[in-house]
Copies of this chain bind each other. A is one copy, B any other.
């Protein structure tokens, strides 16, 4: 592997000159720059990133904080971010904070110590002031905040659509699952659904549920024991919808004739469930891409038209909901 010394020798200049050219700092004559760049190309010299980042106090690393990559919504987000960054020659340090403030702060510290040039966070238990103090551009992803640049899907609208679609398809006694209270996005979709349910002439129950696989199973069992009369479920995410669907079929409920279910997220497996899950789609991959683009603009100090990018959601009609009446 060629070193900076080899480049300097080949170009007939000092190491300091090569360094100036590499980092685009200080004065170098155009001819010299040309010589150096030719030598770099010829020797296929790859500058050591750490040395460069120390010199420039910059790396080519982006920190990405997630709640938990095992939740099938987040791999989509992460790939969106990665694919956009990779096209710019930037790479990701990823951390899962498990919604724990301590882990979140620990990772932010790590990002800082590794001189990341930007951060995308899909979790923020920590006070947002903590992010401000880092002096690194930050984009919040899948988190609603007006105080900071952010990319998120329209949860209020998503909740409204879910409730609207299940009501117009005839459910009268509806269970509304509420995701973890500390997630702003979960609360948005919850509030949207409540607004819509309140407007209609239907009964509804609110059941709080976590987003984990295990809890979803337990919750599903309890739901039908406690409320056997329900004829519609608006789930807090596709995971809990899958658990509800599973339990409903196990106890002999007929889907969608006797019970309708609407999920939230549209994770890849939802269409492989049986019956395939009707759900509210969040464009996870595109949200990741969009957050990366916004961060790139911030880092490059480019003009930003919209600091808070709200992405659209949509109803994906599959077979856990009935067809709409012609009169519906």
Question: Chain A interface (Cβ within 8 Å of chain B)?
Answer: 46-51, 53-54, 59-61, 68-70, 72, 74-76, 78-79, 82, 91-96, 107, 109-110, 113-115, 213, 216-217, 239, 242-243, 245-246, 249-250, 268-269, 271-274, 276
Cβ distance A243 to chain B, nearest Cβ, rounded Å: 6
A72 touches B269 (CB 8 A): yes
B93 touches A93 (CB 8 A): yes
B61 touches A70 (CB 8 A): no
| A96: chain B residues within 8 A (beta carbon) | 79, 82
Can you name 4 extra interface pairs (CB under 8 A) apart from A70-B79, A242-B269? Answer: A50-B114, A68-B79, A70-B268, A245-B272
In the complex, which of the residues B94, B216, B242 contacts A92, with contact meaning CB atoms closer than 8 Å?
B94
Cβ distance A131 to chain B, nearest Cβ, rounded Å: 15
19 chain-A/chain-B pairs, Cβ below 8 angstroms: A46-B109, A46-B113, A49-B114, A49-B115, A50-B50, A50-B53, A60-B114, A70-B76, A70-B79, A70-B268, A72-B269, A74-B75, A75-B75, A91-B110, A91-B114, A92-B94, A92-B95, A246-B273, A269-B269
| A53: chain B residues within 8 A (beta carbon) | 50
